[in-house]
Amino acid sequence: MTQSFVLRWGIISTGRIASCFVTDALVDPKTRDVTDVVHKITAVGSRSVESAQKFIAEFAKGDQSIKAYGSYAGVFADPNVDAVYIGTPHTFHYENALDAIKAKKHVLCEKPVTLNAAELRSLLAAAKEHGVFFMEALWTRFQPLTLEVKKLAESGVLGAPMALQADLSADFGLDKIPKTHRILDPALGGGALLDLGPYPLIWAILALYEHPSNQGAAPSNITGTMLKTPLTGVDRSTSFTVTFAERGVAAQANLSCNLNVNTYQTGVVIRYEKGTIAIQEPIYCPKSFTVQYLQGDKVTKEETRRFEYVGSGWHFQADEVARCVRDGKSESLLWGHDKSLLEMEIFDEVRRQGGYKFPPGLEKVV
């Protein structure tokens, strides 16, 4: 029997999402029928060593072999780390990822990968120069439900995509949280678009941009409008449209995200010539979708598919990183550099139209 490839991870930051990632990475891969790769956490870096130690005790079963560092630099310099997972607030992604890349570590960086497209272009150039793998942690793209939706959508049975609606909203209780919370604070890149926007967008990218008949064409039009909260001026509600009409796809995505209401049960609706795919919330990690087959306006068949697995869904992206690193790839075919770049270019344009400027100096590359 061939041996599993072991990827040795260094974790940067000890916040909420880093704990989710580590918990899932340590789930036995065999529970999801994965035998070719396995994950080992070898280092955790935090701004305080106590926090790194506490994190290891709580989320890595107190594994004494994991090194706790009171800085991120310690993890970058650790020879037992192959890949770095970055779970800091958006505004630090650029500098943390650049430091990791310069230390010749492969990188998985939380969404949104950077504050703007210029920062991302600079990181991609650095990753190329240093010969390392780089990926945005758009975990939804690697989940089994998403892979199944893609297969169905591209099988041809539903015909061409025509229209897509997707929303991700969450009531953050804005009046009750401190203005320094990362969702509200402009100095931490706060607002709905950067935090929630990647999820409605990923479905538009999957169904329209990735559709074979689109042949990789960029959107022909992007519009965006923002409603700002008077609390700090970041976007409380953002709606944006992304239109594809350059090649074989002629379809529009209507996307939205809000910080003051909860999401509706059906988060994504993709309408095709001969049917509809409706994906249940939460759209970052849905567990079921329903497909209706249509003849004219008559529903001829309806099926619901449900997906279950051990863990919460963050491990599938970790498996993808491990396979790519094992195979010497610089990017993933599923969520490659072009898609992160498209995401950041769309966000730049929506922020431009919505009049959302970051505080001076926040963007490291413009």
* Positions in 177-196 near ligand NAP (CB under 6 A): 182, 195
**Closest to 170 (Cα-Cα) out of 201, 199, 131, 139:** 199
Listed ranges 87-95, 156-164, 246-254, 272-280: which one lies at the site for ligand NAP (CB under 6 A):
87-95
DSSP-derived letter for residue 4 is P
| Residue of this chain nearest to ligand NAP (CB atom) | 15
| Choices 89-97, 150-158, 207-215, 257-265; region in contact with ligand NAP by CB under 6 A | 89-97
| Maximum C-alpha span of the chain | 63
Per CB under 6 A, which region of 12-20, 171-179, 291-299, 337-345 contacts ligand NAP?
Answer: 12-20
Distances, alpha carbon 264 to alpha carbons 162, 166, 170, 292, in Å: 22, 10, 10, 19
Q: Which CB sits closer to ligand NAP, 143 or 239?
A: 143
Q: Counting contacts by CB under 6 A, is residue 15 touching ligand NAP?
A: yes
Which residue from 90, 141, 339, 364 is in contact with ligand NAP, where contact means CB under 6 A?
90
Total residues interacting with ligand NAP, rule: CB under 6 A: 20
Q: Which of 297, 286, 249 is nearest to 153 (CA)?
A: 249
The smaller minimum CB distance to ligand NAP, of residues 224 and 313, is found at 313
Binding range to ligand NAP, per CB under 6 A, among 9-17, 98-106, 127-135, 244-252: 9-17
Shortest CB 302 distance to ligand NAP, Å: 30
- State the Cα angle at 57 between 52 and 60, rounded to 5°: 90
Q: Is 51 in the site for ligand NAP (CB under 6 A)?
A: yes
Q: Identify which of residues 13 and 214 has a Cβ nearer to ligand NAP in the complex.
A: 13
Closest approach of ligand NAP to the CB of residue 91, in Å: 8
Q: What is the DSSP string of 289-327?
A: EEEEEEETTEEEEEEEEE---SS-S-HHHHHHHHHHHHT
Of 7, 11, 13, 208, the one binding ligand NAP (CB under 6 A) is 13
H helical segments located in 182-314? 192-196, 198-204
Rounded to 10 degrees, the C-alpha dihedral 83/131/143/1 comes to: -70
My answer on whether omega of the bond before 112 falls inside 30° of 0, hence cis, is yes
Which tokens belong to 134? 């780089």
Q: How far is the CB of 88 from ligand NAP (least distance, A)?
A: 4
Shortest distance (Å) from residue 141 CB to ligand NAP? 11
Helix intervals (H) in the chain: 16-25, 49-59, 72-77, 90-102, 117-130, 144-154, 192-196, 198-204, 315-326, 337-354
Selected binder of ligand NAP within 59, 76, 272, 284 (CB under 6 A): 284
d(CA 236, CA 149): 30
Contact flag: residue 235 with ligand NAP (CB under 6 A): no
Contact between 150 and 157 under an 8 Å Cβ cutoff? The reply is no
Letters for 322-361 (x = contact with ligand NAP by CB under 6 A, - = none) are ----------------------------------------
Closer to ligand NAP by CB, 42 or 214: give it.
42
DSSP state of 188: G
Residues that bind ligand NAP (CB under 6 A): 13-17, 46-47, 51, 87-90, 92, 110-111, 137, 139, 182, 195, 284
